[in-house]
Homo-oligomer: A and B are copies of this chain.
Amino acid sequence: MASPWKTASVPGLQLGLGCGFWICRSYRLLFRAGAMGPHVVPRQLVWLSRWQAVCARGASVQHRTRAGVSRIPSLLSPGGALGASPLVRRSSSSTPPGAPEVVLTQQRYPVTRLPFSAVSAEDLAAFERILPGGVVTDPEVLEASNVDWLRTVRGCSKVLLRPRTSQEVARILRYCHERNLAVNPQGGNTGMVGGSVPVFDEIILSTTLMNRIISFHSVSGTLVCQAGCVLEELSQYVEERGFVMPLDLGAKGSCHIGGNVATNAGGLRFLRYGSLHGTVLGLEVVLADGTVLDCLTSLRKDNTGYDLKQLFIGSEGTLGVITAVSIQCPPKPRAVNVAFLGCPGFAEVLQTFSSGKELLGEILSAYEFMDAECMWLVTHHLHLASPVQESPFYVLVETSGSRAGHDAEKLSDFLERALSSGLVTDGTVATDQTRLKALWALRERISEALSRDGYVYKYDLSLPTERLYDLVSDLRARLGSQAKHVVGYGHLGDGNLHLNVTSEAFSPSLLADLEPYVYEWTARQRGSVSAEHGLGFKKRGVLSYSKPPEALRLMQQLKALLDPKGILNPYKTLPVQA
Segment at the interface with B among A139-147, A302-310, A469-477: A302-310
A462 touches B402 (CB 8 A): no
A303 touches B555 (CB 8 A): no
Question: For A478, what are the chain B residues with a Cβ–Cβ distance below 8 Å?
Answer: none
Partner of A531, one of B301, B401, B550: B301
B304 touches A546 (CB 8 A): yes
Interface residues of A in 271-308 (CB under 8 A from B): 274-275, 277-279, 287, 291-295, 297-308
In the bound complex, CA of A44 to CA of B67 (Å) = 56
A35 at the interface (CB under 8 A from B): yes
In the bound complex, CA of A235 to CA of B135 (Å) = 57
Looking across the interface, which residue of chain B has its beta carbon closest to that of A560?
B561
Looking across the interface, which residue of chain B has its beta carbon closest to that of A300?
B494
A257 at the interface (CB under 8 A from B): no
| Interface-central residue, A403, A410, A465, A527, by most chain B CB under 10 Å | A403
In the bound complex, CA of A277 to CA of B263 (Å) = 16
Question: For A323, what are the chain B residues with a Cβ–Cβ distance below 8 Å?
Answer: none
Partner of A277, one of B277, B315, B400: B277
Partner of A550, one of B293, B302, B557: B293
A43 at the interface (CB under 8 A from B): no
Question: For A558, what are the chain B residues with a Cβ–Cβ distance below 8 Å?
Answer: 306, 561
In the bound complex, CA of A311 to CA of B311 (Å) = 7
In the bound complex, CA of A331 to CA of B294 (Å) = 37
Give the Cβ gap from A430 to chain B, nearest Cβ, in Å: 20
Question: For A186, what are the chain B residues with a Cβ–Cβ distance below 8 Å?
Answer: none
Interface residues of A in 346-382 (CB under 8 A from B): 354, 357-363
A551 at the interface (CB under 8 A from B): yes
Question: For A357, what are the chain B residues with a Cβ–Cβ distance below 8 Å?
Answer: 331
Partner of A303, one of B274, B406, B534: B534
Partner of A314, one of B270, B303, B403: B303
Looking across the interface, which residue of chain B has its beta carbon closest to that of A334?
B361
Question: For A535, what are the chain B residues with a Cβ–Cβ distance below 8 Å?
Answer: 303-305
With contact pairs A278-B277, A291-B550 given, residues A307 and B301 touching in the complex (Cβ less than 8 Å): no
A431 at the interface (CB under 8 A from B): no
| Interface-central residue, A354, A361, A557, by most chain B CB under 10 Å | A361
A529 at the interface (CB under 8 A from B): yes
With contact pairs A303-B263, A362-B401, A531-B303 given, residues A310 and B277 touching in the complex (Cβ less than 8 Å): yes
Question: For A263, what are the chain B residues with a Cβ–Cβ distance below 8 Å?
Answer: 303
Partner of A530, one of B294, B304, B491: B304
Question: For A466, what are the chain B residues with a Cβ–Cβ distance below 8 Å?
Answer: 219
In the bound complex, CA of A32 to CA of B405 (Å) = 13
Give the Cβ gap from A539 to chain B, nearest Cβ, in Å: 8
Interface residues of A in 249-281 (CB under 8 A from B): 263-264, 266, 270, 274-275, 277-279
Looking across the interface, which residue of chain B has its beta carbon closest to that of A552?
B305
Contact with B along A550-576 (1 / 0, CB 8 A): 111011011001100000000001100
B550 touches A292 (CB 8 A): yes
A361 touches B299 (CB 8 A): no
Question: For A545, what are the chain B residues with a Cβ–Cβ distance below 8 Å?
Answer: 304
B528 touches A307 (CB 8 A): no
A528 touches B299 (CB 8 A): yes
A162 at the interface (CB under 8 A from B): no
Partner of A406, one of B270, B297, B299, B403: B403
A294 touches B406 (CB 8 A): no
In the bound complex, CA of A305 to CA of B220 (Å) = 32
A496 at the interface (CB under 8 A from B): yes
Partner of A551, one of B295, B298, B534: B295
Partner of A274, one of B264, B274, B291, B307: B274
With contact pairs A361-B401, A361-B402, A561-B561 given, residues A574 and B305 touching in the complex (Cβ less than 8 Å): yes
In the bound complex, CA of A115 to CA of B412 (Å) = 69
B554 touches A494 (CB 8 A): no
A182 at the interface (CB under 8 A from B): no
In the bound complex, CA of A362 to CA of B334 (Å) = 11
A36 at the interface (CB under 8 A from B): yes
Contact with B along A107-126 (1 / 0, CB 8 A): 00000000000000000000
Question: For A179, what are the chain B residues with a Cβ–Cβ distance below 8 Å?
Answer: none
B310 touches A264 (CB 8 A): no
With contact pairs A302-B531, A528-B301, A548-B294 given, residues A465 and B311 touching in the complex (Cβ less than 8 Å): no
Give the Cβ gap from A151 to chain B, nearest Cβ, in Å: 22
Question: For A406, what are the chain B residues with a Cβ–Cβ distance below 8 Å?
Answer: 35, 403, 406, 409-410
Apart from the given pairs A220-B495, A306-B319, A311-B311, 5 other A-B contacts in the complex at a CB distance below 8 Å? A263-B303, A264-B303, A299-B526, A303-B530, A362-B400
Closest 10 CB pairs of A and B: A278-B278, A361-B402, A310-B310, A302-B528, A301-B531, A299-B462, A304-B546, A406-B406, A362-B362, A274-B278
